Amino acid sequence: MAYLTGQDELLFFDKYPTAFPLYEVFVKELFEMFPSASMRVQKSQITFSNRHVFACVSFARVKKKAELPDPYIVVTLGLSYPLESDRVAVKTEPYPGRWTTHLVISSQSELDDEFYIWVRQAYDFSGSK
């Protein structure tokens, strides 16, 4: 069954319509990879989970406003390790063994195989807790 965008998601992107195509590519691939994942649209982010949250999409200010591209989305992943990549905007260890990693996505080319490997690792880590 193909993924269909919901009204809540469209409203979430109301102030950032040019970023919606980035999200659309991401979410369609995410649900192809993990058809049983759940999604919750909140005021400040869209959260994806299996047993626990493994990814979020937001417009978090993870860089200075002048450094953020237009359009962009921030994809946040929960990983078991500190991701070492130039693509990481911010990473923190909120508690031992859990790293919150923020990636700024500004083009569809950044939604590549390497990126989805990290998403898979976040999904697996979330499911193992």
CB neighbour list of residue 28: distance below 8 Å, 6 or more residues apart:
3
- Between the alpha carbon of residue 49 and those of residues 35, 56, 68, 96, the distances in Å are 11, 9, 27, 20
Pairwise CA distance, residues 18 & 106, whole Å: 10
Q: Quote the pLDDT of residue 1.
A: 47
Q: Quote the pLDDT of residue 128.
A: 87
The parts of the chain modelled with pLDDT lower than 70 are 1-4
Beta bridge partners of 78: 100
Q: Quote the pLDDT of residue 55.
A: 98
Pairwise CA distance, residues 26 & 74, whole Å: 11
Q: Quote the pLDDT of residue 28.
A: 94
Q: Quote the pLDDT of residue 65.
A: 87
Tell me the one-letter amino acid at 17.
Answer: P
Q: Quote the pLDDT of residue 5.
A: 73
- Roughly how many angstroms between the first and final C-alpha of the chain, as a whole number? 28
